[in-house]
Amino acid sequence: MRHFPFFSALSAPRAQRAVKNITASAPFDNPAALAYSVGCFLSILRKVRPIFLHRKLWIILGLAPLLVAAAVWLELQRYARTPTAVAAEPQVVEIPAGQDFRTLASRLQEAGLIRNPRKLRILARLEGFDRIIQVGEYELSASMAPRAILEILASGKVRLHRLTIPEGFNLGQVADAAADAGLAARDAFYASATDPDFARQLEIPADSFEGYLFPDTYHFPRDTTPSKIITTMVGHFRSAVTPDWQLQLETLGWTLHQVVILASIIEKETGTAAERAVISSVFHNRLKKGMRLESDPTVIYDIPEFDGNLTREHLRAPTPYNTYQIPGLPPGPIANPGVAALQAALFPAETDYLFFVAKGDQTHYFSTTLAEHNRAVQKYQLRQ
């Protein structure tokens, strides 16, 4: 039998190692290593230069690394755009600080969001996603392709928690709402909202943010700090103040803080939009005449754990917010008013009313004299 040096060369240790590397390499474990092994094997073949190999075969063998790389790339692209499931419910996945990508890939597989963590690691490494994954809470689904999942994790488009603050919520209720939304512990939020130094930092002319936590619907990431939430709310409040409001402040000779105080009282006195400006007129008229405001909501604001029963003892108590006892406005807002209440406080209706009493149907009866008011109280309150 004729001896060919080609086969002798294959028995050499270097050739054996090259062949072993090629056959043992998993295409998706390390494509670069695979290509390198194929290159080493072909280098050996070129040194041997067996006489029976045709030139075309050498060309084919020379293209082998490119063909392998192309196959690997095509398979990765197929994997990258193929979801694990056609339809699936969203899942919340939290990426903590310091978590390595290998662990993340395994977690995604365990959650059923991807099929092959090794392929995901290779895809992320080749396309640079593994270095730019953002910390946070994400909403993902198995119906998303692996590349789409990587794009979301790298974009920082974290899951947002909705926080709705209705008009008239006081500071404690806002703290409760933030806690219920999963954004902040109630005590932590309340502490920030009653921090005098923080209030001064945001140029609030009071020791707390009562009145300035603007009613609106907000969306925050879960790790948002109470100070960030409060700063955002104050920003929304300031954006609501128009040039016309500034001019009206000058006309009235009032400060914005005084308007916020009155607006908070209006907000708590009525939920009927058509009455806000009329109730505002009653308070403006009483202030002009030096009359006490005598507003029940101001008394209630200063009662800890109010049980819904406002008594004569409450009305007689000499507390800072009891407008049955103190002249003028209370020392601060009693709630967080919305735009409509602020507008009403600034632009009261033109009336001569000095009194009003609830009729029991969410509206009020307005009077210009005490005698008329007493008759209305007798009709709508005492006979109930």
Residue 72 pLDDT: 76
Q: Tell me how far apart the 2 most distant CA atoms of the chain are, in Å.
A: 132
Cα–Cα distances (Å) from 120 to 9, 32, 79, in that order, read 39, 16, 8
Residue 179 pLDDT: 96
> Cα(first)–Cα(last) distance of the chain, in Å?
121
Question: How far apart are alpha carbons 89 and 248 in whole angstroms?
Answer: 53
Angle between helices 186-193 and 226-240 (to 10 degrees): 50
- Those residues whose C-beta lies under 8 Å from the C-beta of residue 253, and which sit 6 or more positions away, are none
Residue 164 pLDDT: 97
- Those residues whose C-beta lies under 8 Å from the C-beta of residue 224, and which sit 6 or more positions away, are 183, 184
Residue 117 pLDDT: 93
Residue 69 pLDDT: 73
All structural domains of the chain, each given as residue ranges with its CATH number in brackets, are 5-80 (no CATH), 91-155 (3.30.1490.480), 160-240 (no CATH), 243-353 (no CATH)
Provide the residue-wise pLDDT of the chain in tens; the chain has 384 residues: 444 344 344 444 554 454 444 444 444 455 555 555 556 655 655 555 554 455 656 566 666 677 777 777 888 889 899 999 988 899 999 999 899 999 999 999 999 999 999 999 999 999 999 999 999 999 999 999 999 999 999 998 899 999 999 999 999 999 999 999 999 999 999 999 999 999 999 999 999 999 999 999 999 998 899 999 999 999 999 999 999 999 999 999 999 999 999 999 999 999 899 999 999 999 999 999 999 999 999 999 999 888 888 999 999 999 999 999 999 999 999 999 999 999 999 999 999 999 999 998 889 999 999 999 999 999 888 765
Cα–Cα distances (Å) from 141 to 124, 341, 372, in that order, read 18, 43, 66
- Those residues whose C-beta lies under 8 Å from the C-beta of residue 196, and which sit 6 or more positions away, are 207, 208
Least Cα distance to 321 among 331, 306, 307, 309 occurs for 331
Residue 74 pLDDT: 84
Residue 245 pLDDT: 97
132, β-bridge pairs: none
- Strand 355-358 and strand 364-367: pairing? antiparallel
DSSP state of 325: T
Least Cα distance to 280 among 200, 203, 193, 356 occurs for 356
